[in-house]
Structure 1
Amino acid sequence: MKISRLRLVHYRNYTDETVEFGDGIQLICGKNAQGKTNLLEAIYYCSTMRSHRTLQDQHLIQKEEASFLIDLSLQRGRQKEQLRVCVNEKGKNLFIHRNPILRVSDFIGEVNAVLFCPDDLQLFTASPKVRRRFIDIEISKLSRRYTQTLAMFQRLLRERNALLKQKEPDLVYLQVVTERMCACEMVILQQRHAFLNELFVFCQPFYSHFAQDDTSIGFEYHTVLDLDHLKDEQLLKEKYEKGLVRDQMSGQTNLGVHKDDVIFTIEGKNINSYASQGQKRTLLLSMKLAITAMIKEKLGEYPILLLDDVFSELDAHRCRQLMEVLPQDMQIFISSAQPIEQEMLAGKVADVFEVTDGTIQRRVLDE
Structure 2
Amino acid sequence: MIVEHLNLVDFRNYATADLALLPGPNVLVGRNGQGKTNLAEAIVFLATLGSHRVSSDAPMVRDGHEYAVIRARLSVGNRRVLVEVQINRQGSNKARINGSPSKTNELPRYAHVVLFAPEDLQIVRGDPSSRRRFADQLLIQRAPRMAGVLADYDRVLKQRTALLKSARARGIRGDALTTLEVWDDKLIALGSEIIDARLRLASDLQQPLAAAYTAIAGADHSPELEWALSVSGADPEEGEGGSFNLTDRSLSLSKGAEMFRAALLAKRQQELDRGLTLVGPHRDDLLMRVRDLPVKGYASHGESWSVALSLRLASAELLRAESPAGDPVLILDDVFAELDADRRQRLASLTAGYEQVIVTAAVEADIPEPLHRHVVRIDAGTISDDRVTDADEGDAP
| TM-score (ref. length: structure 2) | 0.85
Equivalent position amino acid for 1:119 in 2: E
CA contact (8 A) 1:200 1:287 kept: no
Say whether 1:273 aligns with 2:297: yes
Q: Which residue does 1:90 correspond to in 2?
A: 90
Structure 2's unaligned 5+ residue stretches are 233-243, 391-397
Deviation at 1:56, TM superposition (A): 4.0
Q: Which residue does 2:350 correspond to in 1?
A: 325
Deviation at 1:50, TM superposition (A): 2.2
Say whether 1:237 aligns with 2:261: yes
Say whether 1:81 aligns with 2:81: yes
Deviation at 1:153, TM superposition (A): 1.9
Q: Which residue does 1:311 correspond to in 2?
A: 336
Secondary structure at the aligned position of 1:335 is classed as strand
CA contact (8 A) 1:203 1:289 kept: yes
CA RMSD of aligned residues (A): 2.3
Selected match of 2:192 from 161, 186, 193 = 186
Q: Which residue does 1:255 correspond to in 2?
A: 279
Deviation at 1:172, TM superposition (A): 4.3
Secondary structure at the aligned position of 1:107 is classed as helix
Q: Which residue does 1:199 correspond to in 2?
A: 205
Secondary structure at the aligned position of 1:8 is classed as strand
Q: Which residue does 2:327 correspond to in 1?
A: 302
Could you report, residue by residue, the CA deviation over 1:191-219 in whole angstroms, capped at 9, with x for unpaired residues? 11111122121011111112222221112
Say whether 1:175 aligns with 2:181: yes
Q: Which residue does 2:363 correspond to in 1?
A: 338
Secondary structure at the aligned position of 1:70 is classed as strand
Distance 1:162 1:56, change over 3 A: closer
Distance 1:278 1:9, change over 3 A: same
Structure 1's unaligned 5+ residue stretches are none
Selected match of 1:357 from 380, 383, 395 = 380
* Larger mean Cα displacement after TM superposition, 255-264 or 107-116: 107-116
Counterpart Cα distance in 2 of 1:341 and 1:251: 50
Counterpart Cα distance in 2 of 1:88 and 1:150: 20
Secondary structure at the aligned position of 1:144 is classed as coil
Distance 1:222 1:73, change over 3 A: same
Q: Which residue does 1:217 correspond to in 2?
A: 223
Q: Which residue does 1:138 correspond to in 2?
A: 138
Counterpart Cα distance in 2 of 1:338 and 1:349: 12
Counterpart Cα distance in 2 of 1:354 and 1:78: 30
Deviation at 1:4, TM superposition (A): 0.5
Q: Which residue does 1:119 correspond to in 2?
A: 119
Equivalent position amino acid for 1:90 in 2: Q
Counterpart Cα distance in 2 of 1:341 and 1:249: 54
Equivalent position amino acid for 2:265 in 1: E
Secondary structure at the aligned position of 1:124 is classed as helix
Counterpart Cα distance in 1 of 2:67 and 2:149: 30
Distance 1:17 1:153, change over 3 A: closer
Deviation at 1:79, TM superposition (A): 1.5
Q: Among the aligned pairs, what percent are the same residue? A: 28
Deviation at 1:24, TM superposition (A): 0.9
Equivalent position amino acid for 1:140 in 2: I
Counterpart Cα distance in 2 of 1:220 and 1:329: 29
Equivalent position amino acid for 1:75 in 2: S
* Larger mean Cα displacement after TM superposition, 200-209 or 119-128: 119-128
User: 4+ residue stretches of structure 1 with deviation over 6 A?
Assistant: none
Secondary structure at the aligned position of 2:195 is classed as helix
Counterpart Cα distance in 2 of 1:170 and 1:4: 59
Equivalent position amino acid for 1:249 in 2: D
Counterpart Cα distance in 2 of 1:175 and 1:56: 30
Could you report, residue by residue, the CA deviation over 1:212-253 in whole angstroms, capped at 9, with x for unpaired residues? 222211123100344356331223212222322222222221
